[in-house]
Amino acid sequence: MSPAQGGHGGRRSPSGPSVTERVLGILSAFGPGAEALTLSGIARTAGLPLSTAHRLVGELASWGALERGEDGRYRIGLRLWEVGALAPRSLGLRERAMPYLEDLYEATRQNVQLAVRDGHEVVYVERLAHPEAVRVFSRVGGRMPLNATGVGQVLLAFAPPAVQEEVLAGPLPALTPRTITDPQDLRRTLAAVRREGVAVCDGMVDPLSLSVAAPVRGEDERVVASLSVVVPSAGAEPRTIVPAVRAAARGISRALGAPSARRRPTGVVTPVPTAPDTPPRAGRGT
Amino acid sequence: MSPAQGGHGGRRSPSGPSVTERVLGILSAFGPGAEALTLSGIARTAGLPLSTAHRLVGELASWGALERGEDGRYRIGLRLWEVGALAPRSLGLRERAMPYLEDLYEATRQNVQLAVRDGHEVVYVERLAHPEAVRVFSRVGGRMPLNATGVGQVLLAFAPPAVQEEVLAGPLPALTPRTITDPQDLRRTLAAVRREGVAVCDGMVDPLSLSVAAPVRGEDERVVASLSVVVPSAGAEPRTIVPAVRAAARGISRALGAPSARRRPTGVVTPVPTAPDTPPRAGRGT
DNA sequence: ATCGAGCTTCCGGTGGCCGGAAGGAGGCGC
DNA sequence: GCGCCTCCTTCCGGCCACCGGAAGCTCGAT
C-alpha cells in the first residue's frame, strides 16, 4: 500500500537481498501455471545459486511450507496453505459470504465470484462454478486487471480517489476488443457504477460471457469486496440477474456489519441473534 | 519424519535457529484464535528479541506476507494467501470437488466437509455450512484428531499401515465421552470402515451432531481425501444420508481420475480393477 | 559408454544478521 | 498533572551463520 520506501531506499545494495527476501523469492517462484518446480527451476526463477536454493528449500520443506512430490518436484505445502487461510481478507470474508454465494449459485447455476482489490488488481477470493457453466478465465487466488472485469469496475469505482487516478493514468489492458481502455470512457463507466450500485460488463473478459457485479461493504461502510455472477452473453437478460446480485451483496454487507445494509425495523422482531461480539480488544491470544 | 540430523547435529542449538526458521516461526505465531497480533506479541510467541522481530516482520509486511491494520496489529497478508492457494492438496482438490460438495450441500442444507490427512491429524480443506445448521467445531484450515471425526476415521482406515500403528500407539484424545479412545475399539472400527466404505460417527466431536464420511480416491487409487456430512444427532437417519455421501465421494474420485470410480458399461459387480484400458491422463485440464 | 541435467554435500571467508540499549508515543490509575 | 506501563522504532559494533564455488552422485537419454 503506502510505499514504505518513501524515505530513502537504503537497504538496497549490491551485496544482495536479505535472507528473508530470498525465502520469499522462492515462494514467489510458484504461481499459476507453475505449481510444481524442480530445485534448479526454483533457483533459476528466484535468481539464486543452486546450493543456496538447496539449503533454503530444504528448510522450507522440513517446516511444511513446501512439499516434495514423488517426482522430486516441489509444491506449495499444506502448512503454508493453512497459514494463508488465516488471512482476514480471504477466509474471514469468505466464511461470512459463503451462504449468500451458495444461494446465488443455486439460483443461477452459473458462476459466482467474490473478489477484493489489492493494489491495481482484482484478486479472486472465491468462485463457485457449475461444470457446465460458461468457462470463466478467473481462478481462486488469481489476479485480473481492474478495468476489464465487473468486480474490478466495482472495486475501482469505490476505491480511494488516489487509486482511481493511478489506474486511470496507467495502462488499461484490453482482454477483448470490447474491454474499456479509454480513460474518459472508464471514468464515465465508474460514475455510472457508483450511481447504479452495480456494474454490467458484457464481453470484456471473454466475448461470450457477461458479468454483473455489486459492491460489498464492511462495518465502516467502505467497499471491501465485490460479488459477481457470470453468465453466457447470448440470451442473457441482466434485468433478471441484477436484483439477485444486489440482494446477495447487501446480505453479505449486513453479515459484515455494514450499517447501510442493516434491516429496517419492520413489525417483526429481528430473527437473527446478533453474533456475540468478540471483545473489541481481545488481547493476548493462546 | 526421519530425523534429518542423523549425521552429526552440528547447527542445532546454542547458536540459535536459522533466519528461515525464525521467519517461519513468525508465521507460526498466527493461528486460529490469533489472527491479529501486535509486534511484541509476535516476538513473545516466536521467542524472538523485539528488535529482531521488528526487522523480520517489516520485511514480511513489505512483501505482503503480513499486513498491518489500522490498529497497528499484524495479520496474514493477501499475498501469502495467494501463494498458499497454489497448494495442490487444497485448491487443486477443492476445485474439482466443489460441484459435488455443492450438490450435497444443497440436498442436505447442513454441513459438508472435505478434509485431507497431514501426519496424525485431519486438516479441513473446505466446509460448506448452512447458517442454521448444527454448529460444527471444525474450520477451514483447522485441524482435528484422526480418531474422533468421521473424516479422520476414513483417512486413518485407508492410511499406510505404519501411520495407523503410530496413531493407535499414541494418545487418542477424547472430545466427548463417546469418542473412541480404546485402540482395540478403534481397530475394529477402522476395519468396519474399510469394509463398508463409510464411517458413521455419532456424538464423538459434539454430543449433538453426527457425521457420515466416505473416502475420495486419486488416480492411483490411493485415498487422498475424505468427505463428510454433519447433521444433528437427534432424529438423524444415517440410512438416508449414506448413499448420498458415497455417491458424492465416488463422483469426486471419478473427477480425480480414480479407475475404480470410472463409469461401468453395465451396472453389475466385479469391483476388482484389472488392466485399465485407457491411460488416466485423458484429463482436459485448463 | 558417454554425456548432461539435476541433486547433494562440503567447507573456508566475510558481510549481514543479531540484539542490547536508548528514545518516543500512547494509555491507565491515581 | 504525574508516574508508570506497554508497545513501537531506531541505532550500531561484534561475531558467527550464511554464502556459494567446487566436487561427487544419480539418473536417463543418446
pLDDT in tens, B138-147: 889 999 999 9
Work out whether strand A209-217 and strand A223-232 pair parallel, antiparallel, or are unpaired: antiparallel
- Locus of grid cell 434485468: A239
In angstroms, the separation between the Cα of residue B184 and the nearest Cα of chain A is 31
A85 and B141 in contact by Cβ < 8 A?
yes
**Residue A130 pLDDT class (50, 70, 90 cuts):** confident
Q: How many Å separate Cα B116 from the centre of its chain? A: 4
- pLDDT recorded at residue B72: 86
Please say whether the beta carbons of A51 and A43 come within 8 A: no
Q: How many CB pairs under 8 A join A and B?
A: 166
B84 and A85 in contact by Cβ < 8 A?
yes
Out of B30, B59, B92, closest to residue A83 by CB: B30
In angstroms, the separation between the Cα of residue B185 and the nearest Cα of chain A is 30
Out of A24, A59, A98, closest to residue B21 by CB: A59
Q: How far is the CA of A177 from the C1' of C30 (A)?
A: 71
Q: What is the mean pLDDT of residues A114-125?
A: 95
Q: Which of A179-193, A254-268, A272-286, B236-250 has the lowest mean pLDDT?
A: A272-286
Q: Which residue is nearest to nucleotide C16 (CA to C1')?
A: A18
Q: Which of A83-92, B40-49, B264-273 has the lowest mean pLDDT?
A: B264-273
Amino acid letter for position A231? V
- pLDDT recorded at residue B136: 82
Name the residue of chain B whose CA is nearest to A96's CA: B131
A109: left (phi over 0), alpha (psi -120 to 50) or beta: left
Interface test with A, best of B54, B75, B90 (most A CBs within 10 A): B90
Q: What is the mean pLDDT of residues A45-71?
A: 90
Kindly tell me if the per-residue pLDDT of A248 is higher than 60. Answer: yes
Which grid cell is B266? 453395465
- pLDDT recorded at residue A126: 94
Please name each of the domains of chain A with its CATH number: 18-83 (1.10.10.10), 88-261 (3.30.450.40)
Nucleotides on chain D within 7 angstroms of protein Cβ: 6-11, 16-22
Question: A190 versus B15: which is more confidently predicted?
Answer: A190
Kindly tell me if the per-residue pLDDT of B92 is higher than 90. Answer: no
Q: How far is the CA of B33 from the C1' of D2 (A)?
A: 37
